[in-house]
């Protein structure tokens, strides 16, 4: 397995509000994944960390979104085959992550 892709998105919302916004809007992310022809298992919260699994090109992509007081830390485990898309994945996480945290 390749090294995990880690993206940190700073915020000034506080942990509780950031988590609330992510939780309230996670369905939008799931819709986006499904519209792209990918599959996504139900995300699961464990404390302030959300775990997810996405199926892409016959591969499984796992990851977590950890909500912290001043940042959200997304960690995505891309299989070697999908590693060539890491730059695009990073860009999407930054863009969509910012939208999840927006007012």
- CATH fold of 5-101 reads TATA-Binding Protein (3.30.310)
Q: Whose CA is closest to 60, among 43, 82, 45?
A: 82
Q: 45 vs 89, which has greater pLDDT?
A: 45
> Among positive and negative, which fits the CA dihedral 45, 31, 41, 94?
negative
pLDDT tops 90 at residue 30: no
Q: Quick one: pLDDT at residue 99?
A: 82
Q: What is the mean pLDDT of residues 25-31?
A: 76
pLDDT of 39 > 90? The answer is no
- Give the confidence band of 28 by pLDDT, cuts at 50, 70, 90: confident
Q: Is 60 exceeded by the pLDDT of residue 67?
A: yes
The pair of three-digit structure tokens given for residue 103, joined into one six-digit string: 């007012």
């Amino acid at each position: 397995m390749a090294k995990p892709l880690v993206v940190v998105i700073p915020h000034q919302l506080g942990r509780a509000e950031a988590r609330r916004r992510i939780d309230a809007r996670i369905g939008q992310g799931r819709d986006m994944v499904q519209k792209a022809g990918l599959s996504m298992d139900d995300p699961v919260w464990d404390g302030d960390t959300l775990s997810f699994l996405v199926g892409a090109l016959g591969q499984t992509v796992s990851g977590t979104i950890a909500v912290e007081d001043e940042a959200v830390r997304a960690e995505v485990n891309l299989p070697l085959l999908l590693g060539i898309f890491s730059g695009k994945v990073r860009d999407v996480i930054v863009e969509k992550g910012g939208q999840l945290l927006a007012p």
